[in-house]
A = this chain, B = another copy of it.
């Protein structure tokens, strides 16, 4: 389900582009952005008027906007997500919080990543909270899911990507690697869970691990801000190169 004007608008755009199917749209009388209703009807999507109460029961948010689209999940295979050999990819391993996962998708999109891969026990990308946190970016990028972390890493390597894990305990740091030109290569950044980071058996399959340097007294960054710093370091290096 895509909720609210922005997400519904993005879902309708993805529907028009053929990358997703909007099955139906529910809207209250007072829903803002009525242009979406016209777009849906023009695209052959059934539009159902509902009461505020019914819309609230469909909604997962505390302040529903009265506009909910039901979409068929765009199931993307790992190979299809990597088919265009993107120069920047984010891989989430065991990320539990849907808000964090959605925010990383937004950041990855902003940094120009070609796909985000949800590996292992990572939360469902189409969880409502993840969709909202991505503010539409889940409809901009192919997002693939595979429970087999090793298969995800092998597919990235086969697609010509260097595998770099973000790890607060790594000996190498991001800025030193940047100055050494290590971030110029096509890179899959691998991010672990908020609580436990990357497991050793995943780290052993990577080409490198790097830490974000901590210049002050903070012990760590949260997942989304660490991902922002890492992905933007690669984007900057690749656009400079």
A232 neighbours in B (Cβ, 8 Å): 212, 229, 232
The stretch of A46-54, A142-150, A183-191, A214-222 that contacts the partner chain: A214-222
Q: Does A239 contact B (CB under 8 A)?
A: yes
The smallest beta-carbon distance between A133 and chain B, in angstroms, is 8
- Tell me which residues from 110 to 124 in chain A have a Cβ below 8 Å from any Cβ of chain B: 110-113
Which of B111, B222, B224, B228 meets A215, CB within 8 Å?
Answer: B111
How distant is the Cα of A175 from the Cα of B235 in the complex, in angstroms?
10
Q: Does A107 contact B (CB under 8 A)?
A: yes
> In the bound complex, do residue A141 and residue B216 qualify as a contact, i.e. CB atoms below 8 Å apart?
yes
How distant is the Cα of A40 from the Cα of B111 in the complex, in angstroms?
46
Nearest-neighbor residue (CB-CB) of A106 within chain B: B218
> In the bound complex, do residue A175 and residue B240 qualify as a contact, i.e. CB atoms below 8 Å apart?
yes
- Contact surface of A with B, Cβ cutoff 8 Å: 103, 106-113, 135-137, 140-141, 175, 178-179, 212-222, 224-229, 232, 235-236, 239-240
